[in-house]
């Protein structure tokens, strides 16, 4: 039987080489696939947490739009694997960080005898019914050994407090002297 008539096929060394090459590809791509799967899971949970936080903010905005004044409270709410902390507080302008501004600790103090009030936010009665209310929503969940979070912040005008700050119609119509 001539050599050209011999059966065609793969030799054992060719099969071992192909198997080694396949194993090298799997070993190289395996960690990449695992990491991308973990990142996809984190992104999915972060999106679900963001939707949960957005829904809570939308509910608060809807209640404020209907005319009910937001109550100054702090409460927790759980849904699925998420825990939300919802805090409404009087807006404090000192908590705002403005680029290029001095930190609150370094700002010069008001002169003796001068009012430290910053305007309508510090008006009398503002502690009881502040005209501007800050809503902070923080949604947390466990991700492996770490805790992940999503935050949302918004502000509401308190209609009842604004009405108390507005001058009444008789005072507004008096001509200046």
pTM as predicted = 0.62
As given in the structure block, the two tokens for residue 98 are: 């403005």
Of how many residues is the chain composed?
177
Q: Is the pLDDT of residue 17 over 90?
A: yes
User: What DSSP letter does each residue of the chain carry, written as one string?
Assistant: --GGGSPP---HHHHHHHHHHHHHHHHHHHHHHHHHHHHHHHHHHHHHHHHHHHHHHHHHHHHHHTTPPPP--EEEEEETTEEEEEEEEE--GGG---TTSPPGGGSPPPPTTS----SGGG-TTTTTS-SEEEEEEEEEEEETTEEEEEEEEEEEE-HHHHHHHSPPHHHHHSPP-
103-150 pLDDT, tens digit per residue, is: 555 544 444 444 344 443 444 444 456 778 899 999 999 988 899 999
């Amino acid at each position: 039987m001539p050599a050209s008539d011999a059966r065609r096929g793969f030799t054992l060394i060719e099969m071992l080489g192909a198997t080694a090459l396949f194993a090298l590809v799997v070993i190289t791509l395996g960690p990449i696939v695992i990491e991308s799967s973990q990142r996809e899971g984190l992104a999915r949970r972060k999106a679900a947490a963001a939707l949960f936080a957005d829904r809570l903010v939308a509910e608060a905005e809807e209640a404020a739009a209907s005319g009910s004044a937001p109550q100054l409270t702090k409460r927790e709410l759980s849904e699925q694997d998420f825990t939300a902390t919802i805090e409404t507080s009087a807006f404090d302008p000192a908590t705002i960080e403005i680029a290029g501004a001095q930190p609150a600790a370094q700002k010069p103090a008001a002169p003796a005898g001068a009012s430290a009030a910053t305007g309508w936010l510090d008006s009398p009665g503002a502690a009881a019914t502040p005209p501007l209310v800050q809503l902070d929503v923080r949604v947390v969940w466990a991700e492996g050994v770490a805790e992940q979070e999503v935050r949302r912040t918004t502000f509401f005008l308190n209609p009842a407090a604004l009405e108390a700050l507005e001058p009444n119609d008789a005072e507004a119509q008096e001509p200046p002297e």
